Amino acid sequence: MFTGLVTDVGRVRRIETQGGARLEIETGYDTATIEIGASIACSGATLTVVDKGADWFAVDVSAETLARTNIANWTEMTPVNLERPLRLGDEMGGHIVLGHVDGVGKIVAMTPDGESLRFEFEAPVELGPLIASKGYVCVDGVSLTVNEIDGNRFGINMIPHTRQMTTFGEAKVGDQVNLEVDVLARYVARLQNA
């Protein structure tokens, strides 16, 4: 389980493909503290560490994950939002994030709004009803508060600190993003359709 508070921005340093993919990701984490088999949220997708070096770790990505996330678009030097799992007793500063990507959306607009930058995202149509104004959504592994909803589009104001500490400092209109809706919304929708 995660909180959507990014603690490092890594970069893809190597990609091997054969059905799925093996990615090596450069990190500022002390890799001596990362166990093989540990989970790390990589731009919102929980991936398992299978190898590591002094300043990098490797993850295997299945064909299913490549088909359901934006990871298939990553190239060498792609920036990646990283978060290690929540530990009992850690501060819960974001929201409950599982690291299970619900769909791939895209950035459709970026507009200055005072010191903030207003992002407009388009979610897959089926996710629109699961995103609520003033609720939470996880975008590329970042816990964000939704300002408003219009169908399957939603707006978020991103403060300078968030842009500096995440990959959103390099974002541009048209970029695809991994989306995870609030877990409570997912289960409420399931119960309503049961």
Tens of pLDDT along 101-145? 999 999 999 999 999 999 999 999 999 999 999 999 999 999 999
Question: Would you say the pTM of this structure is higher than 0.75?
Answer: yes
Long-range CB pairs of 24-33 (<8 Å, 24+ gap) are 24/51, 24/53, 24/56, 24/57, 24/58, 25/56, 25/57, 25/58, 25/59, 25/80, 25/82, 26/55, 26/56, 27/55, 27/56, 27/57, 27/82, 28/55, 29/57, 29/82, 29/84, 31/55, 31/56, 31/57
Q: Which of 95, 105, 114 is nearest to 153 (CA)?
A: 105
Over residues 34-46, the pLDDT tens digits come to 999 999 999 999 9
**SS3 for 132?**
coil
- Token couple for 133: 């104004």
Over residues 45-59, the pLDDT tens digits come to 999 999 999 999 999
> What value, to the nearest 5°, has the Cα angle with vertex 40 and ends 38 and 133?
140
Query: Average pLDDT in the 72-98 region?
Result: 88
Phi and psi at residue 26, to the nearest 5°: -70, 140
Domains annotated on the chain, with CATH: 8-83 (2.40.30.20), 103-192 (2.40.30.20)
Give the C-alpha distances (Å, rounded to integers) separating 127 from 54, 84, 115.
39, 26, 29
Largest CA distance in the chain: 49
pLDDT, position 190: 65
Distance of CA 139 to the CA centre of its chain: 5
DSSP 163: H
Q: For the chain, give the percent of residues with pLDDT over 70.
A: 96
Token look-up 């403060």 returns 159
Q: Which amino acid is at 90?
A: D
Token look-up 């589009």 returns 153
Alpha-carbon distance 13 to 26, whole Å? 6
CB hemisphere CA count around 139 (13 angstroms): 30
